[in-house]
Chains A and B, each alone.
Chain A
Amino acid sequence: DEDEDEDEDKDEVEGDGDDDDNFDEDEDERDGEEDDELDFEQKARETVARMAAEARENQEEMKEQEASFTLPTEEQLRQEQAITPDISNLKQRIKDVAEVLGDFSSKREEGRGRGEYIEQLRSDLGSCYGYNAELLEMLFQLFSPAEVIQFIEANETPRPVTIRTNTLKTRRRELAQALIARNVSLDPIAKWSKEGLQIYESAVPIGATPEYLAGHYMVQSASSFLPVLALSPQPGQRVLDMAASPGGKTSHMAAMMSNRGTLVANDFNKERIRALQGNLSRLGVRCSVILNADGREFPKLMGGFDRVLLDAPCTGLGVISKDPSIKAEKSFQDIQRCQQLQKELLLSAIDSCQANSPGGGIIVYSTCSITVEENEAVVDYALNSRSVKLVDSNLEFGVEGFTRYRSKRFHTSLRLARRFYPHVHNMDGFFVAKLRKTNNSLPSGPASSGLASSGTDVSTPVPHDSLKGKKKKNMGKLAKPAAACTAKVPPQSTAHKKALKQGRPR
């Protein structure tokens, strides 16, 4: 008892320095009370110590369990291939491998390299979700392993249904009231859109309400709003939409132009022209002229547009959630073929645009794909072949475009392009780049020699002197494309450092 009291006294003295004076006097009086308190405290301390010990034991156990994740041996893999894959097993393994890769130095298994883990992850993702090998390879080049898993999981669920109010016929508030009266639960999409509405659930099919038939809204995905917002055509302008069907973006442009001006809507596919015609009539678009031609014929058919929108045909790797067959079908060959077409279409689009029109000379290039080959590579090609430059698209959100990718180096201004991902923005994968045409003539010098080697059909490079003779507003900018080519190497090093700082995916 005495020892106890002494110890406890010492503890209390250490604890409360202020009460030192009073302590000695009141010691005897307090002893009785202190006994009860100290017992209680002692028990509390013991419990805490016990809990801490248990927690430590648990952690050690968990660590042992984690460390015990080993990659399956070849025999186990062969056994697995013989039977039908067990999805939950695969998913668990995917999670485990991702964890290991996340903290590789501490969690790795001895003797197994990083490559082996990634191989295992790839084959598991392929068999679990149905992606083909080439596609997975491409995804791993684009994202880190953890992000690839997020992307793939995001593609398994559909994106929210969204509609756009047709401002030619109604206001968003009135439309929302009318739809709520029909038992549709909805909300505005986000701050960046004044016309979008997101549908949570609906008692009636959203594509068949009387408001839809009266042309008060159009069902389109949120990412389809973006290229039109970037292009922002003004009333009275002459605008071209090179791949217009089924008409969501075309009608959006007509709404922004308040039906004044001329909107040429072109599509190569004759069957889809019917859908385009139907939608434009339903939505009350009156300023349109619908054409069925190959987009590459464009400057020949008609040129001198103020603004051009090219929502290019692509492999659709950003919209896998809408069309799961893409996972198994698309290959590098498809990407290459699309890229060729996209390059030609973009050059035609640029050539059809009038450089010096007031507030005009703007081309927006967009795709619903996330591959670099179809997006940054195509825009970079255009920057080298024509007198255009990238400008800010005024889209406040979105990931910046890549300026480097594996061994390729792109123009620094590609940072101004925007990428959108399903797992980050909850929209379909998308890419938007806004270009401004600085000059109607082709750039001369090293740029045009680059053109000839790529095999496109271009007239002989214009000699520098004749260009100087012509009166052009943006004469100073003429030197830019040529300079951009030769000066490409030095600025890239700073861009490279910047890109590293921004944490570009490996």
Chain B
Amino acid sequence: EELKIFFEKLSKYIGRGVKELIQRPDAPHCFRLHRDRVYYVGDSQVKVAAALPREQLMSMGCVFGKFTKTKKFKLHITCLDYVAQHAQHKVWIKASAEQSFLYGNHVLKAGLGRITEDTPQYQGVVVLSMADVPLGFGICAKSTAECRKLDPQSIVVLHQADIGEYLRDEDSLC
């Protein structure tokens, strides 16, 4: 049940990549639900964590996100490394728009550098800087074709999560 919700949300960003995350050739990993949060852990760590008492276990491996009280899944910035690796649609933003995005604002057309071809509207994307450093994720507000016709002040990517949250929003991550 929750698994379905989680995979649906995740595949919005990385599509088929979900399969690759589970069936890794080097070391088997799996997703584990613990206290409303989803963790992505390798097998050896899962064995260790399974032996530890539930109240004292705080985290394992990489946190992907958490389920809200109404059972919706929110993807956290902490899984950015994995998502950026397998993402199908990416958006590159200019250096001038970087700071603004890191403060939690949406990306405007003026800050848009590149965008992968054929991105449908409302597609989950990974936002990168021009130097290919992942900055966060977002939702594409307009498809690629429409983006070309926009005026500079309209929003192209809706902000979902960015690495500035490590400083702004530490508490919600744990």
CB within 8 Å of B: which A267-282 residues:
273-275, 277-278, 280-282
CB within 8 Å of B: which A237-295 residues:
238, 260-262, 264, 273-275, 277-278, 280-282, 284, 286-293
CB within 8 Å of B: which A51-107 residues:
none
Known: A274-B170, A278-B173, A287-B42. A292 touches B133 (CB 8 A): no
- A282 nearest in chain B by CB position: B166
Q: Counting CB contacts under 8 A, is A38 at the interface? A: no
Let me know if A277 and B167 touch, CB within 8 A.
Answer: no
Let me know if B48 and A238 touch, CB within 8 A.
Answer: yes
The bracket for how many chain A residues form the interface is 20 to 34
Measured between alpha carbons, how far is A260 from B129 in the docked complex, in Å?
29
Known: A290-B58, A301-B53, A302-B48. A213 touches B102 (CB 8 A): yes
Measured between alpha carbons, how far is A198 from B5 in the docked complex, in Å?
47
Q: Counting CB contacts under 8 A, is B10 at the interface? A: no
How many chain B residues touch the partner (CB < 8 A)? 35
Q: Counting CB contacts under 8 A, is A210 at the interface? A: yes
Q: Counting CB contacts under 8 A, is B113 at the interface? A: no
Measured between alpha carbons, how far is A302 from B57 in the docked complex, in Å?
12
Let me know if A214 and B58 touch, CB within 8 A.
Answer: no
Q: Which residues of B contact A203 (CB under 8 A)?
A: none
Contact partner, B170, options A210, A214, A275, A293, Cβ 8 Å: A275
Let me know if A278 and B174 touch, CB within 8 A.
Answer: yes
Q: Counting CB contacts under 8 A, is B60 at the interface? A: yes
Q: Counting CB contacts under 8 A, is A208 at the interface? A: yes
Q: Which residues of B contact A290 (CB under 8 A)?
A: 57-60
A-B contact number at CB 8 A: 90
Let me know if B129 and A210 touch, CB within 8 A.
Answer: yes
Let me know if B166 and A278 touch, CB within 8 A.
Answer: yes
Measured between alpha carbons, how far is A207 from B166 in the docked complex, in Å?
11
Q: Which residues of A contact B40 (CB under 8 A)?
A: 286
Contact partner, B61, options A278, A286, A292, Cβ 8 Å: A286
Q: Shortest CB–CB separation between residue A223 and chain B, in angstroms?
A: 25
Which residue, B51, B163, B174, has most C-beta atoms of chain A within 10 A? B174
Q: Shortest CB–CB separation between residue A263 and chain B, in angstroms?
A: 9
Let me know if A274 and B48 touch, CB within 8 A.
Answer: no
Known: A213-B164, A214-B133, A277-B174. A302 touches B52 (CB 8 A): yes
Q: Shortest CB–CB separation between residue A354 and chain B, in angstroms?
A: 14
Measured between alpha carbons, how far is A292 from B98 in the docked complex, in Å?
36
Measured between alpha carbons, how far is A284 from B135 in the docked complex, in Å?
14
Known: A214-B163, A238-B48, A262-B44. A289 touches B57 (CB 8 A): yes
Known: A210-B133, A282-B166, A287-B45. A292 touches B56 (CB 8 A): yes
Which residue, B44, B58, B163, B174, has most C-beta atoms of chain A within 10 A? B58
Contact partner, B60, options A261, A274, A288, Cβ 8 Å: A288
Q: Counting CB contacts under 8 A, is B140 at the interface? A: no
- A297 nearest in chain B by CB position: B56
Let me know if B56 and A291 touch, CB within 8 A.
Answer: yes
Q: Which residues of A contact B41 (CB under 8 A)?
A: 289
- Please list 24 pairs of residues, one from A and one from B, whose beta carbons are closer than 8 Å in the complex, sorted by A's number: A207-B167, A210-B98, A210-B133, A210-B163, A214-B135, A215-B163, A262-B45, A274-B170, A277-B59, A278-B170, A278-B173, A280-B59, A281-B62, A281-B166, A282-B78, A282-B166, A284-B81, A286-B62, A288-B61, A289-B45, A289-B48, A289-B57, A290-B58, A292-B56
State the B residues within 8 Å of A (CB): 27, 40-42, 44-45, 48-49, 51-53, 56-63, 78, 81, 98, 102, 129, 133-135, 163-164, 166-167, 170-171, 173-174
State the A residues within 8 Å of B (CB): 207-208, 210, 213-215, 238, 260-262, 264, 273-275, 277-278, 280-282, 284, 286-293, 301-302
12 additional A-B pairs beyond A208-B167, A278-B170, A290-B59, beta carbons within 8 Å, are A210-B102, A238-B48, A273-B174, A274-B170, A278-B174, A281-B62, A282-B78, A288-B61, A289-B52, A289-B59, A290-B58, A290-B60
